[in-house]
Amino acid sequence: MDPLTHAASGAIALLAFPSRPHTRWAVILAALATASPDVDVFFGTGPLNSLLMHRGITHALAAAPLIGLLLAFLLYPLWRKTIEERWNFGQVWLFSIFLLLLHIWLDCTTTYGTLIFLPFSELRVRFNSNFIVDPFILFPALAIWLWTITRKLPTPEIPTSMMKEEASPLQRRLARPAKICLAWIFCYPLVCLGIQQWHYWRLPDTIRTPQAYVLPEILAPFNWRVLYHDASQDHIVASGLSWDNQLTGTRLSRPAADPLLMQELNLSDTTCQAFFRFSLLPVQETFIWENGLEYHFYDLRFGSNLTLLRDLRQANEPPFQLWVRLNKTGHLVSVRLIFSAGLKDSGWHPPNPPLVPSLLHWLVGRP
């Protein structure tokens, strides 16, 4: 999900508590803490580390208690002794872990993939149920956040003992919309997942294979697309999907990546290995260069079958691309990883043999 949605969901999580610390920083700090796992976008230098580290160790379940502990110290105003109705440090720690889990949950609903099992597994979890920016989560959260913070609490002139008694009923009333919104943030993606599965199981038998995915478009659950392998032509096909499961919109078809070539590249270079683990149904384009063949790999998962979105994307370039060059004897000689969306380009470089990443690699990137 986008950072604004994460921040708004964190604000809602705090506002859902009827009894919460009386500090003007509470909601803002909760919002920032919920968005904080995405600081990993600044960790990686170059496209390879960006690919490996974004939604990496800061999104791992095993790291949540430790990161939550760090956030608890940063959320000091919530447990400061001078704050009215302050929480103790243990409560703030548990709340911080909850905010991290909320962030991880929302990221898992998208198509990008989140490495929640690091450092034990590099499996990317993706439910493919929600678009990266989902207005049906973002706008309700922002609206309730704004509505709640504009309500007036009792004035400071009221004695402390009376303030606790009189503020609690008001805070309980203000917390109800936030509680409903928080339940919506957890339940709505499950509804979208159910609709996605409904579409999948109604696909024609020729399409509904293990290599077929129903993916969200913008304004999902009303817009969906299907990505599948057409075995008759050995092409990867992306098409829009109507409510009655008819293929609609612009139909994209590209040659499927050669499995044997991908296997060879996986064993030859760490960039190739990371890219193919990240991709869903990669496609390839073949070109001739002076000393052999050049292959371009990318993933139609990040495209769109809506004309408006395709026009907005500059030159319709895939956001993640892997280019490789093989000499005339079929050996890999150079690799290039391009993130057109982030304007990152590794440039051509010799292959680096794959290695088993250590915890340090997941924290600071690979050399």
Distance CA 349, CA 367 (A): 13
Q: How many CB atoms lie within 10 A of CB 326?
A: 20
Each residue of 249-277: pLDDT tens digit? 778 899 999 999 999 999 999 999 999 99
The pair phi, psi for residue 205, each rounded to 5°, is -60, -30
Does residue 303 contact residue 318 with C-beta atoms inside 8 Å? yes
Q: How many CB atoms lie within 10 A of CB 236?
A: 24
Q: Which long-range contacts (CB under 8 A, 24 or more apart) does 183-186 make?
A: 184/137, 184/140, 185/9, 185/12, 185/102, 185/106, 185/137, 185/141, 186/105
- pLDDT tier for residue 338 given thresholds of 50, 70 and 90: very high
- Residue where the block lists tokens 């990318």: 298
Distance CA 227, CA 239 (A): 7
Q: What is the mean pLDDT of the chain?
A: 87
Give residue 266's identity as a one-letter amino acid code: N
Helix (H) or strand (E) holding 286: strand 282-289
Distance CA 213, CA 306 (A): 17
Each residue of 270-320: pLDDT tens digit? 999 999 999 999 999 999 999 899 999 999 888 776 766 666 555 567 889
The top-scoring range by mean pLDDT among 51-55, 84-88, 261-265 is: 261-265
Does residue 356 contact residue 271 with C-beta atoms inside 8 Å? no
**Domain ranges in the chain?**
3-195, 214-367
Q: Rg for the chain (alpha carbons), in Å?
A: 24
Does residue 187 contact residue 181 with C-beta atoms inside 8 Å? no
Length of the chain: 367
Cα 31 to the center of its chain, rounded Å: 17
